[in-house]
Amino acid sequence: MDKISDPTKKSGRSAASGIEIREMVLDDLPSVFALGEQLFTAEKWPNLYRTWDEFELLSTFSTDKELCLVAEKNEKIVGFILGSLIEKPRSAWVYGYMEWIGVDPEVKSRGIGTKLLNKLTDLFIKHRARMMLVDTELENQDALLFFKKMGFGNETKHIFLSRNLTSHPDYLKRKAERDQLKMMKESNVKQDQQEIKKD
């Protein structure tokens, strides 16, 4: 059985002191979204099979609010974790799925991710989850080391394939139509401005 560190025991480090882990509220969504935008960029993770966007955040928050947590220091959101429960029909098992975790780079390596994950683990256990699942990019070595340190194992390979559609003829056609429409709108705005100047 994998061992997950006990959140009630002090590690001897006080780096995460002054951090409050609490349930996310509606007013936190803009700060959480902005932090996610900073962390999960297409430039940094071009093959990320899930997209960090408003829908991803709102969907998880609206369906599993109790499993969405923030880390706050001096009234500023410095981290978050989003979880959900998976219940399969005709199965006694309930799975806890950690969907996203993010910590502000300015406070990275201070135990905030550990505190968030430990609190989410407690919530999953409270909801009868028998197993906790996480996933990450193979290239994300920091995340892999963190999850392994937190007791995750039984690594399973899953292949995600991607296809860039920006050179597909239909994509190029639609892009040309959008570009043409944009130029027409800009032209109309310029004409309107010139007419206003004449008046």
User: Do 136 and 91 have their domain in common?
Assistant: yes
User: Do 143 and 169 have their domain in common?
Assistant: no
Q: Over the stretch 73-124, which tens digit does the pLDDT of each residue have? A: 999 999 999 999 999 888 888 999 999 999 999 988 889 999 999 999 999 9
**Considering the domain boundaries, does residue 14 fall inside one?**
no
**Considering the domain boundaries, does residue 9 fall inside one?**
no
Q: What is the pLDDT of residue 103?
A: 94
Q: What is the pLDDT of residue 18?
A: 85
Q: Over the stretch 140-196, which tens digit does the pLDDT of each residue have? A: 888 888 999 998 888 777 666 667 788 888 888 888 998 898 888 888 877 777 777
User: Do 109 and 41 have their domain in common?
Assistant: yes
Query: How many of the other CB atoms lie within 10 Å of CB of 46?
Result: 11
**Considering the domain boundaries, does residue 122 fall inside one?**
yes
pLDDT higher for 2 or 135? 135
d(Cα 34, Cα 37) in Å, to the nearest integer? 5
pLDDT higher than threshold 50 for residue 6? no
User: Do 120 and 39 have their domain in common?
Assistant: yes
Structural domain span for residue 28 = 20-149
Average pLDDT over residues 9-19: 53
pLDDT higher for 192 or 58? 58
User: Do 27 and 119 have their domain in common?
Assistant: yes
The tally of domains found in the chain comes to 2
d(Cα 13, Cα 53) in Å, to the nearest integer? 34
Radius of gyration for the chain, computed over Cα atoms and rounded to the nearest angstrom:
22
User: Do 97 and 37 have their domain in common?
Assistant: yes
- 40-54, 96-110, 119-133: lowest mean pLDDT where? 40-54
User: What is the pTM (predicted TM-score) of this model?
Assistant: 0.69
pLDDT higher for 140 or 62? 62
User: Do 192 and 133 have their domain in common?
Assistant: no
User: Do 39 and 99 have their domain in common?
Assistant: yes
CATH number, domain at 36? 3.40.630.30
Cβ neighbours for 188, distance < 8 A, ≥ 6 positions apart: none
pLDDT higher for 90 or 51? 90
d(Cα 140, Cα 23) in Å, to the nearest integer? 27
